[in-house]
Amino acid sequence: MASLAALLADLVGPAEAFGDPRRPDVAEAAARCLPGEVVAARDGDEPVAVVRLASGEVCVLADACPHDGGLLSDGFVEGDRLVCARHQWELDARTGRCAHRPGVVVPARRLVEKPLDS
């Protein structure tokens, strides 16, 4: 089922169309992102989706679905995939490759978290 945010985005467009500057940076988003969650963030001026897999691994993807530009951060995590809430396109969170269209890739990277010094 699509999230309320995804349904609203279908009707009025994504939040970025209204200049929403409240995204945390990648490090802050990763710190608060729980396993199996996705958090909207920014990498510099670029909107990104921060995903924490069940393994604890953190991945950062461009926050635009290759299907129609919808916000991937409105989606959900299923296994190692980020699923777009709008039309259920599935992307490998580590590589950004689309599960059903191998030639379609979203910029993605793994985030290496530095341990806190005690």
The residues spanned by each domain of the chain are 4-111
Task: Supply the pLDDT for residue 18.
Answer: 40
Does the predicted TM-score (pTM) go above 0.85?
Answer: no
Q: Which pLDDT score is estimated for 14?
A: 54
Chain-centre distance for alpha carbon 60: 7
Strands in 81-83's sheet, in edge-to-edge order, are 76-78, 81-83, 90-92
- CATH number 2.102.10.10 given to 4-111: yes
Q: Could you report the per-residue pLDDT of 15-39, keeping only the tens digit for each?
A: 554 445 689 999 999 999 999 999 9
Cα distance between residue 61 and residue 80, in whole Å:
13
